Amino acid sequence: MTGRITGGRLSVAAALATAMAIGLQACGGGTGGEAVDEDQDGFAAEEDCNDNDATVHPGADELCNGVDDDCDGTEDEDAVDAATWHADEDSDGYGDPDATRQACEQSSGTVADSTDCDDADADVHPGADELCNRADDDCDGTEDEDATDQATWFVDGDTDGYGDPDAARQACEQPPGTVTDSTDCDDSEGEVHPAADERCNGLDDNCDAVTDSDAVDRSTWYLDGDSDEYGDPLVSQIGCEQPAGYLADSTDCDDGAPDVNPGEVEICDNSVDEDCDGTADDGCAVRHCGDITVDTVWDASAPHVVTCDILVEGTSGPTLTVEDGALVMFEAGVRMIVGGWNTGTIVVEGTSAGVTFTSASPTPTPGIWQGLQIGLFDQGSTLTGLTIEYGGGNGLGTLYLYNSQPVLDGVTVRHSSRDGVNGVTAFPLIRNSTFSDNAEDGIYLDANSGLDRSASPTFSGNVLTRNGEYAMSVPADYAGELDSSSTFTGNATDRIRLLADTVATTQTWLGQDVPYFVDGDVLVEGVAAPVLTVGDGATVLFGPTVRMIVAGWDDGSLIIDGASTGVTFGSGAAVPAPGDWQGLQIGLFDQGSTLTGFTIEYGGGNGLGTLYLYNSQPVLDGVTVRHSSRDGVNGVT
């Protein structure tokens, strides 16, 4: 064998070559001399392509060195230390990890980098800026995160289209509830934003940092130089707040004269336009003062001003007729008395346009004039379509009835400083009328008064509201004149007050929209053997120590007709308690009382029982007696 193996290792190729050489020698081949191996790499010179370099021989690892290391006739092919190159098709300097090549030298169109996630787009690579394009521009596995071109969005909490500058959010796409605008100064109020109208409300509506500036609802205020409550149209200011000495009104035609303004009455023959209608001495008021002793007509052609007390009376029994549409104004402290000390009558004919009795003051207040009094010698006054207001300065009521029986039809009595109507021994007929905004009762008829019984019911279709005390006060014997067509709600005390009285006539107390309130003892008895029926749905409340006695000393009877919704007798106290009132007594002369569907409570203050039966035989059917301070029912004989 001509070769030898020293140290080192043989590759498969080298081992095969050595084996072939040994075989040849065994068969007698070869030259018969020793093989030459100068570089001692185990390969003879005739096999070694470079016998001067031990690293070069068949089977050696091909390296990237420009040498045919493995003696296969090719340099650097399949070199074990060849680099991996990646295609860079988009020439962005970043290679495609899925397109590789092993080579000693970098070929055109390749790079050592393998981090490109889209080698078809030069704008996509790890060094690219992330953009809002729904692509992974920077190859971090996420689309559009922290994009350099993302927009700033602002929360629009009040959905007015304007965003809160203090609530910003960066995002490529608009998040719900956000807008691009950032100019809202109050994102909790939808009517506050830069495009809003500035209004007089103490807010900066249009976000200009100034409150109420140039508000669209600013008012124009006019100087009231003469303090007559009417403003000068030639002197004005515009603003949200009313300046001192200025008014909203602009109708004064002479702001230097307090007795010249639209509320004044025109005075004749002085060449002054007192009422500011543009013409002096037109429609001059007719002035009245003193007694009317003959039949007189006040028409609607001009206003009437009463400058001192008017007495309508005389031996001839004069009648004052006030025609439809007439306006009668009373100066402070004056009154009109009809039939006070002699016969007289007033007829108000306000059937269409109505008639008004009011104050002559441009700024009237309740009680500024006394009122209208109809007295003992009245000959049958009728008030139709009359509005009477701002009276009560007499200390009684705007309409004061003394021993008279007038007819009130379609009358309005309001703004009295006392009662609306005050009656002393008076028996009016009242229908289709309104009694409102009076300081005390809407109607007060004293213990000697009542309601006209000539036509029953004589109190119907009326409205009593916003009065300062009771809706109405009337003696108990006249409660039966109230039908169910009137309303009594909205007063300081929503009750119909029944004054102490003897019910001597047969009648029915109907259920009303408010309770009856009995503030003095009521007796039901008399020579006519009256029957008091309390209708279904009625509530009757009693004041402290008050009682109702039926047939105690004369014939009488009580019918409680509560078969459907019931009838209640109880305490008038705000917080009722047993014994608040005495109770109901049915006595010796009872003519057959029946109590049906009846609840009676909080009595017993008589020391006996809430229902006290004395020598009587009433029928109790569906009765509830409760909360008595003594017996529920106490019977004697």
Model confidence pLDDT, tens digit, residues 480-535: 999 999 999 999 999 999 999 999 999 999 999 999 999 999 999 999 999 999 99
Rounded alpha-carbon distances, angstroms, from residue 316 to 174, 309, 626: 95, 20, 63
pTM exceeds 0.85, yes or no: no
The answer to whether the CB of 594 falls within 8 A of the CB of 626 is no
* C-alpha to C-alpha distance for 545 and 571, rounded to whole angstroms: 10
Question: What is the pLDDT of the chain when averaged over all its residues?
Answer: 92
Within this chain, do residues 466 and 505 fall inside the same structural domain, yes or no? no
Does some domain include residue 273?
no
* Domain count across the chain: 3
With CA atoms as reference, report the closest residue to 140 among 122, 123, 125, 120.
Answer: 125
Within this chain, do residues 290 and 422 fall inside the same structural domain, yes or no? yes
Helix (H) or strand (E) holding 15: helix 12-26
Q: What is the pLDDT of residue 14?
A: 45
Q: What is the pLDDT of residue 33?
A: 55
The one-letter amino acid code at 69 reads D
Write the DSSP symbol of residue 229.
S
Report the percent of the chain where pLDDT is more than 90: 76
* C-alpha to C-alpha distance for 171 and 398, rounded to whole angstroms: 76
DSSP 3-state assignment of 424?
Answer: strand
The answer to whether the CB of 582 falls within 8 A of the CB of 547 is yes
Within this chain, do residues 464 and 517 fall inside the same structural domain, yes or no? no
Exposure of 503 by Cβ count < 10 A (0-12 exposed, 13-18 middle, 19+ buried)? buried
User: For residue 430, what are the β-bridge partners?
Assistant: 408, 459
Q: Which residues of 605-621 are buried (b: 16+ CB within 10 A; e: fewer)?
A: bbebbbbbbbebebebe
Does some domain include residue 585?
yes
Within this chain, do residues 331 and 383 fall inside the same structural domain, yes or no? yes
pLDDT band at 62 (very low <50, low <70, confident <90, very high): confident
* C-alpha to C-alpha distance for 259 and 247, rounded to whole angstroms: 17
Rounded alpha-carbon distances, angstroms, from residue 226 to 249, 252, 261: 13, 10, 10
DSSP assignment string, 18-43: HHHHHHHHHTT-S-SSPPP-TT-SS-
Structural tokens at position 621: 């059917």
The answer to whether the CB of 42 falls within 8 A of the CB of 14 is yes
Within this chain, do residues 327 and 376 fall inside the same structural domain, yes or no? yes
* C-alpha to C-alpha distance for 341 and 536, rounded to whole angstroms: 46
Within this chain, do residues 410 and 511 fall inside the same structural domain, yes or no? no
Domain stop point among 452, 481, 510: 481
* C-alpha to C-alpha distance for 493 and 469, rounded to whole angstroms: 5
Instruction: Calculate the CA dihedral of residues 162, 168, 172, 174 and round it to 10 degrees.
Output: -30
Does some domain include residue 543?
yes
DSSP assignment string, 347-363: EEE-SSS-EEEEESSSS
**Tens-place pLDDT, residues 15-31:** 444 444 444 443 444 44
DSSP 3-state assignment of 112?
Answer: coil
* C-alpha to C-alpha distance for 352 and 358, rounded to whole angstroms: 18
Domain stop point among 64, 81, 98: 81
Please determine, for residue 451, whether its predicted confidence score (pLDDT) is greater than 60: yes
User: For residue 222, what are the β-bridge partners?
Assistant: 236, 247
Phi, psi (deg, nearest 5) at residue 42: 90, 0
Q: What is the pLDDT of residue 215?
A: 94
Q: What would the 3-class secondary structure string for 452-513 be?
A: CCCCCCCEECCEEECCCCEEEEEEHHHHHHECCCCECCCCCEEEEEEECEEECCCEEECCCC
DSSP 3-state assignment of 54?
Answer: coil
Q: What is the pLDDT of residue 73?
A: 87
Structural tokens at position 453: 């019984």
**Tens-place pLDDT, residues 99-141:** 988 889 888 999 989 888 988 989 899 988 889 998 988 899 9
Please determine, for residue 13, whether its predicted confidence score (pLDDT) is greater than 60: no
pLDDT band at 285 (very low <50, low <70, confident <90, very high): confident
**Tens-place pLDDT, residues 160-206:** 999 999 999 999 989 999 999 999 999 999 999 999 999 999 999 99
Write the DSSP symbol of residue 556.
B
Please determine, for residue 253, whether its predicted confidence score (pLDDT) is greater than 60: yes
End-to-end Cα, the chain, rounded Å: 164
Within this chain, do residues 379 and 429 fall inside the same structural domain, yes or no? yes
User: For residue 286, what are the β-bridge partners?
Assistant: 304
Q: What is the pLDDT of residue 283?
A: 74
Within this chain, do residues 453 and 531 fall inside the same structural domain, yes or no? no
Report the percent of the chain where pLDDT is more than 70: 95
Does some domain include residue 18?
yes
Please determine, for residue 76, whether its predicted confidence score (pLDDT) is greater than 80: no
Within this chain, do residues 457 and 580 fall inside the same structural domain, yes or no? no
Does some domain include residue 627?
yes
Mean pLDDT of 299-328: 96
Residue with tokens 């080192």: 8
Q: Of the spans 10-14, 32-36, 56-60, which averages the highest pLDDT? A: 56-60
Mean pLDDT of 554-576: 98
* C-alpha to C-alpha distance for 5 and 40, rounded to whole angstroms: 8
Domain stop point among 420, 454, 481: 481
Does some domain include residue 616?
yes
Cis check for the bond before 457: say yes or no (omega within 30 of 0).
yes
* C-alpha to C-alpha distance for 169 and 175, rounded to whole angstroms: 9
Structural domain for 17, as ranges: 1-81
Structural tokens at position 291: 């007694």
With CA atoms as reference, report the closest residue to 336 among 271, 383, 272, 267.
Answer: 383
Q: What is the pLDDT of residue 317?
A: 97
Does some domain include residue 302?
yes
Within this chain, do residues 505 and 626 fall inside the same structural domain, yes or no? yes
Within this chain, do residues 339 and 367 fall inside the same structural domain, yes or no? yes
Write the DSSP symbol of residue 389.
E
* C-alpha to C-alpha distance for 536 and 61, rounded to whole angstroms: 124
Q: What is the pLDDT of residue 42?
A: 87
The answer to whether the CB of 553 falls within 8 A of the CB of 521 is no
Within this chain, do residues 475 and 534 fall inside the same structural domain, yes or no? no
Q: Which residues of 75-91 are buried (b: 16+ CB within 10 A; e: fewer)?
A: bbeebeebeebbbbbbe
Q: Assign residue 490 a region: left if phi > 0, alpha if psi is -120 to 50, beta otherwise?
A: left
